[in-house]
């Protein structure tokens, strides 16, 4: 059994590997069942549900058995606040090894001078990044001006002045309906409350980023932080241009690559499309297209590394040592040559899915894709995103509703459905299967009708034509059977 064969896909292990994993999971579930059988049952059911559905949520994937098993260990029992070699608790020598290995793999994989593996999630990674930038760009100069080495050295008046400075900095990020994320300055999110915030959008005709307009907005607003990256923008971004804009206005460029980190790691995005060489600070999750455990990373240029390293206790509590260990395993998998082939298939399959929609008359935001995301405008079917998402789920197609530019239905009901190809690519789907997926999705949406609520039109209620769910389930079952999830793994 080669390392490549184990790590190429979480779903294609050899017989010996599958037998070992099966024995491990059966034993673990038996132990769990002896304490709380409902949890064991829900865990088994989750695997069955994932095996039997077309998972097209862009932010989900399937981690390898090695990654999943790494999280279920006694590393969970150890408190390790602080950082490598500088903990607030004794006995952290093994956690130091775990965190060092995870950071080493992250640096090597992404070509980053510094990596921080502690964030529990993407929002935690972004909070660490925001406050590291504030500490470097605002707090440190203010302390130097006041002749103080630490905030504890300030008197109350100086402390109040520093707090006002920290709380009134400017952030420019991509708007939610254009494809940005909640943490890029959306007002109900903490990022929108921390900063004096403005958003940039996309061209109303093409749905594409307009770098000239973005530059003009930055010149006018003069943000401390320019945020790049997206969660629902189906195109590549020129991060060299974003860095030019940031440098011109004196901003720090922070890029959130949580969605497309796997395409960066897999060398699908290189040069100007690779954010790591261009951004001052880059954040990511370790699941999604990177195919690891749920968690976050921060990558930084040297001038920000000291501040990032203080993520705990700055905004984080004790790191999840068992998850950092799983990050290390996943990042080791992503450094295998086979991961590059996987990442390219993810992008190729997204194009096949987009083309499958377009040739069946569906409307796509930006008219296509060149990453892993396809964003479908469902208003052409007379539906809201909420209705479309629910009807697709009835037919065994798991997606998520998403805003589109200038969305008339808002962020809850939405007018779009976001599709992603990482998970089904992990299962082995190729261009032909994704074309068939497009056909099935259009079949469902064509046969879904909005229905009236008792008090008028409803943005949530719908009727799915008789036989549609059964027909689509049967068709998808054939593809799923041909590309099984965790083959050989039996519980």
316, 259, 318: which is closest to 127 by C-alpha?
A: 316
Q: Which CATH number fits domain 338-482: 3.30.70.890, 3.30.70.1070, 3.40.50.720, 3.90.1150.10?
A: 3.90.1150.10
Whether 368 contacts 351, CB under 8 Å: yes
74 burial level (CB within 10 Å; 0-12, 13-18, 19+): exposed
Is 488 annotated in a binding site? The answer is no
- Rounded to whole angstroms, how far apart are CA atoms 374 and 234? 6
Total residue length of the chain: 491
Fold assignment, 76-334 = 3.40.640
- Rounded to whole angstroms, how far apart are CA atoms 206 and 26? 51
Tens of pLDDT, residue by residue, the chain (491 residues): 223 333 344 444 567 788 899 999 999 999 999 999 999 999 999 999 999 999 999 999 999 999 999 999 999 999 999 999 999 999 999 999 999 999 999 999 999 999 999 999 999 999 999 999 999 999 999 999 999 989 999 999 999 999 999 988 999 999 988 888 888 888 888 888 899 999 999 999 999 999 999 999 999 999 999 999 999 999 999 999 999 999 999 999 999 999 999 999 999 999 999 999 999 999 999 999 999 999 999 999 999 999 999 999 999 999 999 999 999 999 999 999 999 999 999 999 999 999 999 999 999 999 999 999 999 999 999 999 999 999 999 999 999 999 999 999 998 999 999 999 999 999 999 999 999 999 999 999 999 999 977 665 689 999 999 999 999 999 999 999 999 999 989 98
421 burial level (CB within 10 Å; 0-12, 13-18, 19+): buried
- Rounded to whole angstroms, how far apart are CA atoms 310 and 10? 34
Domain borders along the chain are 76-334, 338-482
- Rounded to whole angstroms, how far apart are CA atoms 118 and 186? 24
Neighbouring residues of 484: CB distance < 8 A, sequence distance ≥ 6: 11, 51, 427
List the structure tokens of 123: 């929002």
52 burial level (CB within 10 Å; 0-12, 13-18, 19+): middle
Is 322 annotated in a binding site? The answer is no
| CATH fold match for the domains 76-334 and 338-482 | no
List the structure tokens of 440: 């099935």
- DSSP letters spanning 39-81: HHHHHHHHHHHHHTSEE--TT-----HHHHHHTSSGGGG----
pLDDT for residue 91: 96
- Rounded to whole angstroms, how far apart are CA atoms 184 and 401? 19
Which residues participate in catalysis according to the annotation? 79, 81, 256, 285, 288, 294
CA Rg, the chain, in Å?
Answer: 23
- Rounded to whole angstroms, how far apart are CA atoms 209 and 45? 42
Is 181 annotated in a binding site? The answer is yes
Beginning with the edge strand found earlier in the chain, give each strand of the sheet holding 416-420 in spatial order.
363-364, 373-377, 416-420, 400-402
pLDDT for residue 135: 96
Instruction: Work out the number of other CB atoms within 10 angstroms of the CB of residue 73.
Output: 12
Neighbouring residues of 413: CB distance < 8 A, sequence distance ≥ 6: 384, 385, 386, 401, 459, 460
H or E element, residue 401: strand 400-402
Pairing of strands 196-200, 170-174: parallel
Is 182 annotated in a binding site? The answer is yes
């Amino acid at each position: 059994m080669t390392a490549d064969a184990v790590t190429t896909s979480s779903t294609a292990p050899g017989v010996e590997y599958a037998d070992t994993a099966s024995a491990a999971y059966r034993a673990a579930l038996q132990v769990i069942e002896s304490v709380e059988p409902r949890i064991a049952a829900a865990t088994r059911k989750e695997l069955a549900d994932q095996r039997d559905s077309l998972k097209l949520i862009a932010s989900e994937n399937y981690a390898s058995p090695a990654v999943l098993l790494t999280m279920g260990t006694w590393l969970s029992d150890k408190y390790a606040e602080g950082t490598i070699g500088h903990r607030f608790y004794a006995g952290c020598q093994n956690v130091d090894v775990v965190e060092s290995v995870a950071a080493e793999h992250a640096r090597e994989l992404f070509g980053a001078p510094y990596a921080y593996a502690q964030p529990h999630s993407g929002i935690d990674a972004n909070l660490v990044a925001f406050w590291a930038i504030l500490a470097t760009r605002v707090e440190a100069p203010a302390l130097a001006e006041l002749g103080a080495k630490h905030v504890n050295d300030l008197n109350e008046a100086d402390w109040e002045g520093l707090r006002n400075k920290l709380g009134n900095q400017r952030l420019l990020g991509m708007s939610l309906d254009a494809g940005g994320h909640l943490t890029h300055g959306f007002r109900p999110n903490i990022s929108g409350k921390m900063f004096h915030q403005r958003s940039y959008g996309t061209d109303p005709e093409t749905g594409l980023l307009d770098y000239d307009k973005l530059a003009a907005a930055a010149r006018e607003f003069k943000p401390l932080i320019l945020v790049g990256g997206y969660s629902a923008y189906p195109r590549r971004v020129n991060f060299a241009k974003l860095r030019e804009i940031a440098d011109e206005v004196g901003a720090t460029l922070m890029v959130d690559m949580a969605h497309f980190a796997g395409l960066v790691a897999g060398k699908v995005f290189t040069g100007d499309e690779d954010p790591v060489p261009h951004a001052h600070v880059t954040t990511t999750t370790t699941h999604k297209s990177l195919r690891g455990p749920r968690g976050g990373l921060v990558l930084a240029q040297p001038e920000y590394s000291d501040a990032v390293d203080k993520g705990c206790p700055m905004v984080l509590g004790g790191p999840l040592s068992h998850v950092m260990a799983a990050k290390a395993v996943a990042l080791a998998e992503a450094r295998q040559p086979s991961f590059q082939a996987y990442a390219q298939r993810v992008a190729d399959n997204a194009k096949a899915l987009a083309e499958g929609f377009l040739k069946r008359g569906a409307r796509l935001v930006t008219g296509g894709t060149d990453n892993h995301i396809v964003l479908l405008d469902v208003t052409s079917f007379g539906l809201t995103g909420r209705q479309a998402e629910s009807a697709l789920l009835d037919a065994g197609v798991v997606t998520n509703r998403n805003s589109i530019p200038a969305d008339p239905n808002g962020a809850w009901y939405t007018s779009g459905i976001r599709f992603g190809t990482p998970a089904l690519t992990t299962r082995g789907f190729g261009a032909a299967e994704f074309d068939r997926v497009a056909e099935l999705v259009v079949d469902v949406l064509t046969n879904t009708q909005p229905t009236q609520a008792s008090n008028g039109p409803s943005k949530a209620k719908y009727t799915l034509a008789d036989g549609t769910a059964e027909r689509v389930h049967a068709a998808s079952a054939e593809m799923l059977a041909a590309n099984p999830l965790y083959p050989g793994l039996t519980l």
